[in-house]
Structure 1
């Protein structure tokens, strides 16, 4: 079995490859070539921790087979200077069933989540969109900046983050790793003013984005609040957008963001929730006009992790990176 740490995952899975793999698996999911139950989430309620297990099978000529992702949200790690999301992705040899590889899950999650947002942005955003608002300054904000600059020319990027230290770290990182000048704003509304691309990456129960803050024609990737009870966008903001999802089944069961406008009577319960894969397959037209606001509500799918895992293994083997261990010995 091949073991891969976070740095090795990032080396083996560049942004362009992540885009290719995630776009293809979103097509496969909407075409019925993925077996994926809605994730199992455990929360004891005593410390705010959550544990999620996500198995699946992906059918296809490449990047396919059985795999799973297991992730633990440990909020106390903030005070330990450790990641709050800890996990692994495991994939199994399609022929023998033996464990093929285990890799650091947070790196896979960051790369495939940003890739999915890039796929959704490419499919739904206006062709000339390039004024980006980043809400949040953590790992997902970094990965989204790198992913979106590959599919749109970013004319302007504005950042808002609640904490001063992390915002400064983000700006320093951006100066080192990109040639993009980032403007730091004092409020989410300031960052969002006139932005035609939006990425919200904050784990929060209190919405940060209202309908009045969103520009006409904007495309929003909402990725930070991915469990029930968490919301980045207010009900009126969601209601003002045409919403798209990665998995309709998962979104209907897990997204408080999409449920809120229905509960408040702003939208009907039978509101359509087209999948990005359906847009890519030509089964849904996607955006219908230049003034239409579009929303990609990202909850993440095990299929994205597993397909990415198989692609990462192949790349790591070509590069000769990772550590081999005899799992059966």
Structure 2
């Protein structure tokens, strides 16, 4: 005789599976622009990465051409991961990056969608805009790196690039070095964009922001250097860096691999992923014999104290992250939990009753 447990039709009853849909506006309402919260989420994911409590496959990339075309033609990345510990969530970010979008259609270069899933039943928890999450977590990664690798008395920031990524980079660094950063120097090839960016950032961050006419001016005598551009050629010279400078390069081509001889340490987020992507300057430096692979450090191991970071105030240190899915998922989960608590977003159904069991 069939029991309820054995009867597929009985098992289908009251089996609705739903999830929250969060638009970009919903993500902002749920604290998506709260850099303090983002920094906490990224700190946690770096710790779990250092403890090997994550699953993070190498990200497939759809390219229209080789790696060198990413800053011209564009690409789409698929970034899945699982985060363990007390987060315990799986997810994926789908992120196209089309550099010509702003000029051609008046839309952002990058757009993203994030899916969060319950790792115990596989069902979706949320489908959400990932554009804000992605930008914020990228800035926060530099913030956490600066926390461990920059000189603790850093006062001056030099940043190359005046785009979206530069905004979140500065938000993160000024949050980590609260009430300490005195001057931000910015340079971008677009002079008018640079002036507007400097004006907006000075008002938003309450820090003196000055626009300069060359990358060299912005880099020289800066305690913290950030390169966040769409450059397709190298321009950074290691000799421009002051003694003890921390340099975060989130771009691909700003620094030539040969310039890494000027740095005392090179740190990434995950060198296996850097190698898979085969673009970043740290990868090319190892490929070209400028660095030994064992000399490239992962930040998560520094965060948990397994590997030593900055050893003295004279070291020049490069942080060259590829960008990890666990950061997206950790930050997205934070925003999702805030949204769930506050009743933000739309409740949608995957199904009311499963058609097949």
Range with bigger deviation, 136-145 or 94-103: 94-103
Structure 2 residue 24 is the aligned partner of structure 1 residue 6 = yes
Counterpart in the other structure of 1:214: 241
Counterpart in the other structure of 1:198: 225
1:325 is paired with a residue whose SS is strand
Give the structure with higher Rg (CA): 2
1:26 is paired with a residue whose SS is helix
Structure 1: 5+ residue stretches without partners: 226-230
Counterpart in the other structure of 1:164: 191
Please report the RMSD computed on the Cα atoms of aligned residues, expressed in angstroms: 1.8
1:283 is paired with a residue whose SS is coil
Shift of 1:48: 1.3
Q: Quick one: structure 1 residues 263 and 327, their matched pair in 2 at CA, closer, same or farther if it must change by over 3 Å?
A: closer
Shift of 1:95: 4.1
On the 8 A contact 1:211/1:234 being kept in 2, the answer is no
Structure 2 residue 278 is the aligned partner of structure 1 residue 258 = no
Shift of 1:327: 2.7
Counterpart in the other structure of 1:240: 262
How do residues 147-158 of structure 1 correspond to structure 2 at under 5 angstroms?
Answer: 147-152=172-177, 153-158=180-185
Shift of 1:138: 0.6
Task: Quote the Cα distance in structure 1 between the aligned partners of 2:198 and 2:23.
Answer: 25
Structure 2 residue 146 is the aligned partner of structure 1 residue 146 = no
Q: Identify the match of residue 60 of structure 1 among 81, 85, 101.
A: 85
Superposed CA deviations along residues 248-271 of structure 1, whole A, max 9, x for unmatched, are 21123334301333455433x334
2:41 is paired with a residue whose SS is helix
Counterpart in the other structure of 1:38: 58
Structure 2: 5+ residue stretches without partners: 1-18, 353-357
Question: Number of aligned pairs?
Answer: 322
Shift of 1:146: 1.1
State TM-score, norm by structure 2: 0.85
1:274 is paired with a residue whose SS is strand
Q: Quick one: structure 1 residues 57 and 38, their matched pair in 2 at CA, closer, same or farther if it must change by over 3 Å?
A: same
Task: Quote the Cα distance in structure 1 between the aligned partners of 2:188 and 2:26.
Answer: 29
